[in-house]
Amino acid sequence: MAAIIVYFSRKGENYVSGTIKKLAVGNTEVVANILQKLTGAETFKMQPVQEYSKDYNECIAQAQADQRRNARPELKAYPESLDAYDTVYLGYPNYWGTMPMAVFTFLEHFDFNGKTIFPFCTHEGSGMGSSESDIKRLCEAAEVKKGLALRGGSIQYSEPEIKKWLKEK
Rounded Cα gap, residues 27 and 6, in angstroms: 14
pTM across the whole model: 0.96
Domain ranges of the chain: 2-168
Domain 2-168, CATH class in plain words: alpha beta
Per-residue pLDDT of the chain (169 residues; tens, 9 = 90+): 799 999 999 999 998 888 999 999 999 999 999 999 999 999 999 999 999 998 999 999 999 999 999 999 999 999 999 999 999 999 999 999 999 999 999 999 999 999 999 999 999 989 999 999 999 999 999 999 999 999 998 999 999 999 999 998 7
